[in-house]
Amino acid sequence: MSRPKPPPKTCLYCKKDFIPISKKIKHCSRACYAMGKRIFRVCPNCLKPFNNRFNLEFCGRKCYVESRIKKMGKCIICNQPKFADNAKVCSPKCAGKWASIWRIGEGNPNWKGGKKPLLHRRLERRPWIKISKFVRARDNFTCQKCKKTNCKLNVHHLIPYRETQNDNPENLVTLCVPCHKKVEITLNQRVI
């Protein structure tokens, strides 16, 4: 005695009629079964449907990158896409350019209306530059404390300028940077 054949069914995927081997089968082939198991989703970037077997948000890497660029915006220096949400620029090179623009003038947090301190204005004037060159030449471009040559030299006031306002060469001496720092520290400790 043979078993009766099950009645024909319609494939859930391709909608064709087929005769199933058992009652549980709902697809006409393995290909239709696989296609029926796929979960389709619409890509939010390109709006195309795609198989979302792995629960992805986008259809591919390209759409993911494009959506990130749209979300994050572009670099304020070179107008290229930036790769961090909280950044204003895309690379260290652009960061340097942005910092140089930001630090100039009123953008700098230390901006004081374009006024230089009195000390800087005094040291940039021609009389002081001439006097300091004269003192260095007089001392033979040598530190008068450690006798070093071929190093960066500063001109030091023996009696501090803040007390006498005196730039006479007799009150000035040439010192290297380390010796100048030591002398200034001891001078400041005596004042305090």
- Is a pLDDT exceeding 70 seen at residue 85? no
Q: How far apart are CA 30 and CA 34, in angstroms?
A: 6
* pTM > 0.85: yes or no: no
- For residue 59 the two structure tokens come to 């259809």
Tell me the one-letter amino acid at 186.
T
Q: How far apart are CA 49 and CA 60, in angstroms?
A: 11
pLDDT one-digit tens code per residue, 21-30: 887 888 888 8
Coil, strand or helix at 41: strand
Estimate to the nearest angstrom the gap between the alpha carbon of 103 and the chain centroid: 15
Which pLDDT belongs to residue 53? 67
- Is a pLDDT exceeding 60 seen at residue 1? no
**HEC sequence for 139-175:** CCCCCCCCCCCCCCEEEEECCCHHHHCCCCHHHEEEE
pLDDT one-digit tens code per residue, 37-72: 766 788 888 888 877 767 778 888 898 888 877 777
